[in-house]
Amino acid sequence: MLYILKVNILLLLFAGIYHVFLRKETFYQANRFFLLGGVLCSFLLPSIFIEKEVEISSIEKIEQNPVLENVTQTLSEVPIEIKSEIDYSNWISIGVIMISVVLLSLLFWKIILLLKQLKKLKWKEAFGIKYLESKNENEAFSFYKYIVVNTENMEINALKKILVHENIHVREFHTFDVLLIQIIEALFWFNPFLRFYRKGFEETHEFLADEKTINENSFSSYDYQKLIVQLQIKNNSMLTNSFKKESTLKNRVLMLQKRRSAKTNILKVLFVIPFLVSFMMFSQTRENTEKLFIEFSEETTDRDIDLFEAKYARRYLGKEIKFENVLRDSDKNITGLDFLILDEKTKNYVKKHGFQSDVPELKLSITVNQKGDIFHFKMNKTNFDIEYNTKNKSNTMVQGDFVGMSTFTEDDSPTDMEASYIFLENELEKIGAIDDFKWLDTDGKEITKSEFKKKMKSEKLGYGINMLKKTISLFKNS
């Protein structure tokens, strides 16, 4: 319902801009495209959102944020009030939809009836233009590729002007505009102001056809205006482009007498831009909670971790998660932990990643996407950032130097470990530091790069990086 409301607001905006700023300008083709563009924008923009990422620098800040606190309250914390009243909102929506379906059906039925009537008429040709001879007195209109005219008692010059005029409607595909706004009016029948949008199309079509009829055929503007007034052709169908619609008659004559608008006046179409920008900024901006940024430090207590697991993980990640094997140094800095995600099928927690470091005063930050497939590990006091994809177990170095980082997974195959080694070696070569590092076994003994690689594959060992010690060391999975 909110989307429908936004669509109607934008339609009214474009209709208002047209009637206030553009209606009296002689840029008829530009005005038509403005109205068509307005329909497109009105349906498209409400489905586009400007994402604003929500970053929470610590678990403590989550708890202190009253907005997020209210949003993420568990059901047990929210009092449930049982209402006996009937909820009529669904019934209202169903009623609105049913009326729209009925009106659309009637519209299509009218089109079918019109086409059937046209097939009964005989084709004729005059001045190189084919048309259908109408049996109704003083009738002249066009629909789709059909031009319908009653030529009885009509002067030859008047017939030529009418045929040329209606042929321009056909050539410019004005029936598309007419049907488009008719469908919109059927869908949003509850919005009475849409008739102003329809009127904008009707006027623009007639102004455009009148202008081209005179300019392309060197007709006298005065004689053409007299013809418009004299021919009281009555065709009240809103599906067709009639040579004479009483609702546009006066304005057509006035616009034919009007001087061409200054070229700079076309810039009036830009008046809509500030309104569209405001609409996007205030109505189409939403918080993106697909990523959650958590910082673990010496201030992060075990209670904070439990709080996050119990209260916020599913809200932000859509997953049940756990942190296990949380290790701290003497200053209570977190120096290691394991990250687990609940497997919805097996109902078991699966270890996705682990972190260990012996670098003093190292703080760990994690950014996790909503699916739990990709997450970042980031250390403070460093530019190091690694992205880990749990689907293909691939690592991507985002930027920086290597400081106290260790990654591993229990499910890594020898092929995975070899890929990790190749990736590690390539990253070291990129920064020109591969010769500055020593390769260490799990007992701290220096080994060659080839031995390091072989052990990774055969023993399924993870790898550690410590730039402070200029070492790359292996360790066994816990």
- Name the residue with tokens 């500030």: 274
Count other C-beta atoms under 10 Å from residue 23's C-beta: 16
Burial of 182 (0-12, 13-18, 19+ CB in 10 A): buried
Query: What value does the mean pLDDT of the chain take?
Result: 75
Task: Give per-residue pLDDT as tens, 145-156.
Answer: 999 999 888 889
**Which tokens is 15 given?**
């209709």
Task: Give per-residue pLDDT as tens, 349-384.
Answer: 776 655 555 444 444 555 544 444 444 444 443 334
Return the pLDDT at 85. 57
445 or 410: whose pLDDT is higher?
A: 445
Task: Give per-residue pLDDT as tens, 324-339.
Answer: 887 777 777 666 777 7
Return the pLDDT at 424. 66
Beta strands in 217-302 (DSSP E): 241-242, 285-288, 291-296
**Which tokens is 457 given?**
């594959």
**Which tokens is 47 given?**
């489905």
Return the pLDDT at 149. 93
Answer for the pair 208, 177: CB distance below 8 angstroms, yes or no. no
Q: Which residues contact 307 (CB under 8 A, 6 or more apart)?
A: 59, 63
Give whichever of 2-16, 372-386, 442-456 has the largest mean pLDDT. 2-16
Give the separation between CA 404 and CA 473, rounded to whole angstroms.
10
Among the listed residues 436, 432, 408, the one whose alpha carbon sits nearest the alpha carbon of residue 420: 408
List, in sequence order, the alpha helices (H) in 382-465: 414-430, 449-459
Q: Coil, helix or strand for 140?
A: strand
Answer for the pair 133, 142: CB distance below 8 angstroms, yes or no. no
